[in-house]
Amino acid sequence: MAPAIEAGAVKLLIEVAFKAVQHIDHIRKASLLQSRRRFHRALPASANQQHGSVFATGFFQNLGAEMCRVGREIGVLVPGDIHSPGRAAHIHGLDLHPDIDQQTVGVGLNKGPGLAGGQMTHRGDIVAVSYNRGMNRPYTRAQGLADLLRQRILVLDGAMGTMIQRFKLSEAQYRGERFADFHKDVQGNNELLSLTRADIIRDIHEGYLAAGADLIETNTFGATTVAQDDYQMAHLVREMNLASAQLARTACDKFSTPDKPRFACGALGPTPRTASISPDVNDPGARNIDFEQLRAAYYEQVQSLVEGGVDVLLVETIFDTLNAKAALFAIEEYFEHSGECLPLIISGTVTDASGRVLSGQTVSAFWSSVRHAQPIAVGLNCALGAALMRPYLQELAKAAGDTFISCYPNAGLPNPMSDTGFDETPDVTSRLIHEFAAEGLVNIVGGCCGTTPEHIGAIAKAVNPMAPRCQQSASLA
């Protein structure tokens, strides 16, 4: 293709892309490009932030450049706040320049010929890439976590639900005195126990810490307004998250030592609704939740967890990537508003032997969809036991070479005859996870459904002598 024709096609594509952004439902919140001569920031202010930024990122990758500056006339395109997207359509020339913090991400850049007489950065010149400058800021908590992950394999706790089930709590015990006259059944609402039976949640946390866990999760997997609507307790969400975070914080403080600090992870579950999949097989376009509802629910949860004292945020059991993007957007939005920045762990769930999350993405595609959030670790949990999870963990470890890898599988397959409801005993699960460590796949290990303090203790012993997985340079493939 002749350079002039190619340049014209590029201009047209950019015009179409940014005009499309104008039609996004939440464009007034998105505010896509600042109406200044030079723009220094872009995106995280709207529910549809990632749709715009991912489109642009993929477009520039096709040109051989990686999320750099776009055009002198439209200024810099990097994550941040943006306004007046219409101005971006008036492009008189395209000029790509690197806008990457070399000290932070360690890049070696060489410029070469670009379009419209400008210059562009070629693919082979970039060693490492910052996918979201908005989240590329110093941590305000758990600053030593990354160094620990380079030194040894850290251990995450096991299942909260499995341990709660062992108490065989009645409806009255879930209610406690405070909710004795509540109009709806609440048995099974585990997050409520942080308010009515805080002693049980505290004991579970301490059991995992005593077994050797470095990180424990708050009892907040379903503590969003979306999930609590099922019990008509959405009005209690802030209180649930605050109380749960404080319980985890207190337990961690009790067990922390200079040689072995403990970290409280604020758990954000997927909610019982999905933004990508229809709940009605006869109406594929139907949805029972939208992005903005999810964003608002996650924002409230994140705010409460951080105020309650967590060190890390953990977006886990992701079966719908769009739900996860709502959580990631809410996290970044909260960081922008509060000035806080906590390490983030993202954990997806491969639902079956197809090797995909429920919304259809392979493990590698899932990572491509969430890597802009710059998590300290990405991994897999739930649905599968360690044996069945292995090939997908291997795929993720290869795709996400520049970040740490987490893995906390179920204790095998469900087994209603077992005390935990799952097949594997601690020795089996720990042996399989030891194999992951021996293969150099993991930095954080733990357990999901069916795992107990006994499992976590066995896992901690199994990985104790093992070296952690080493990070690699970011891949642009």
Tell me which of 29 and 388 has the higher pLDDT: 388
CA 350 to chain centre: 15
Q: Is the pLDDT of residue 132 over 60?
A: no
Give residue-wise pLDDT tens across range 298-350.
Answer: 999 999 999 999 999 999 999 999 999 999 999 999 999 999 999 999 999 99
Residue 11's pLDDT is 59
Q: Is the pLDDT of residue 274 over 60?
A: yes
Cα→Cα distances 295→37, 63, 76, 321, Å:
31, 32, 27, 13
Q: Is the pLDDT of residue 156 over 90?
A: yes
Residue 1's pLDDT is 54
- Confidence bin at 137 (pLDDT 50/70/90): confident
CA–CA separation, 445 and 442 (whole Å)? 7
- Give the residue-averaged pLDDT of 220-248: 98
99-113, 343-357, 412-426: least confident range: 99-113
- Give the residue-averaged pLDDT of 241-247: 98
Identity of the amino acid at 399: A
Give residue-wise pLDDT tens across range 443-458.
Answer: 999 999 999 999 999 9
Residue 2's pLDDT is 56
Residue 95's pLDDT is 33
pTM: 0.75
